């Protein structure tokens, strides 16, 4: 049986407030709520007790939904949730320069003004979230099992075709390298040939010059009077 918390003392001369009902909160109920929540979070209690308040039930529902999302989404989102504290600075919605030790309360007008200034970013974020939700529902992302199933879906015939194509690509590449090397060899041979011919003509010109000088010397010896 829960006890009723005592009413606060009434100041002398003040109006009596005994007619107003006091909240029925047991002194141990906050501790019970904390203990039940911790037991559920760390896994020592599979389900919270049935006599918890609506706040604990909402917390339980949120934790259960989060665990369901983690189990169905795969490793990336699970890692984000598990390391949320590590990414807290990056995930904070406000600029670090405006943070303070106390929370600033904005009225409706200030909130509307801020949202209007962030309209484009919010619209883009909503579009990205919609795409992510669609991909999650279709099982096309964040699902390692789908990736493995896709890998297993490739038939042996398709693998053989892929291997044959890769072999053909390597063959074409080797053929291209061979042709390129042959062209380089032809150019090198042509360069060597032209150099040899040029050198031969130079030697021939020198031999002709020596012959002309020898003939001129013989003519002078045979006809000394012509000088």
For 99-141, how does the pLDDT look when each residue is reduced to its tens digit (9 = 90+)?
555 556 677 777 777 777 777 887 888 888 887 777 767 655 5
Contact call for residues 11 and 33 (beta carbons, < 8 A): no
DSSP 98: G
- On whether residue 43 sits in a domain, the answer given is yes
Chain centroid, CA 68 distance in Å: 24
Please tell me the predicted confidence (pLDDT) of residue 14.
44
- On whether residue 48 sits in a domain, the answer given is yes
Average pLDDT over residues 158-185: 87
Where residue 142 falls (left for φ over 0; alpha for ψ -120 to 50; beta otherwise) is: left
Last residue within a domain, chosen from 39, 62, 93:
93
- On whether residue 40 sits in a domain, the answer given is yes
- On whether residue 3 sits in a domain, the answer given is no
Supply the range of the domain harboring residue 33. Answer: 29-93
Q: What is the pLDDT of residues 18-42, one digit of tens each?
A: 455 555 666 566 666 677 666 666 6
Q: How far apart are CA 35 and CA 116, in angstroms?
A: 42
pTM: 0.27
Structural domain count, the chain? 2
Please tell me the predicted confidence (pLDDT) of residue 52.
52
Average pLDDT over residues 36-61: 61
Task: List C-alpha distances in Å: 150 to 131, 144, 145, 159.
Answer: 21, 10, 9, 13
DSSP 134: H
Contact call for residues 22 and 7 (beta carbons, < 8 A): yes
The answer for residues whose C-beta is within 8 angstroms of residue 115's C-beta and 6 or more apart is 122
- On whether residue 135 sits in a domain, the answer given is no
- Residue 128 class from Cβ within 10 Å (0-12 exposed, 13-18 middle, 19+ buried)? exposed
Q: With pLDDT > 90 as the criterion, what percentage of the chain qualifies?
A: 2
């Amino acid at each position: 049986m829960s006890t009723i918390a005592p009413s606060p003392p009434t100041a002398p001369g003040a109006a009596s407030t005994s007619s107003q009902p006091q909240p029925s909160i047991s002194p141990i109920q906050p501790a019970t709520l904390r203990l039940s929540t911790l037991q559920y979070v760390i896994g020592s209690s599979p389900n919270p007790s049935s006599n918890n308040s609506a706040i604990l039930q909402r917390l339980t529902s949120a934790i259960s939904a989060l665990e369901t999302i983690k189990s169905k989404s795969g490793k990336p989102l699970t890692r984000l949730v598990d390391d949320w504290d590590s990414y807290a600075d990056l995930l904070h919605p406000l600029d670090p320069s405006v943070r303070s030790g106390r929370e600033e309360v904005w009225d409706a007008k200030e909130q509307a003004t801020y949202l209007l200034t962030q309209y484009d970013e919010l619209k883009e974020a909503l579009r990205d979230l919609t795409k992510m939700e669609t991909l999650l529902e279709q099982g096309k992302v964040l699902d390692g099992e789908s990736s493995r199933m896709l890998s297993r879906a490739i038939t042996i015939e398709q693998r053989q075709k892929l291997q044959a194509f890769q072999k053909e690509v390597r063959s074409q590449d080797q053929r291209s390298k061979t042709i390129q090397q042959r062209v380089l060899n032809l150019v090198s041979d042509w360069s060597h040939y032209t150099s040899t011919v040029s050198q031969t003509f130079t030697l021939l010109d020198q031999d002709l010059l020596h012959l002309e000088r020898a003939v001129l010397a013989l003519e002078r010896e045979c006809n000394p009077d012509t000088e």
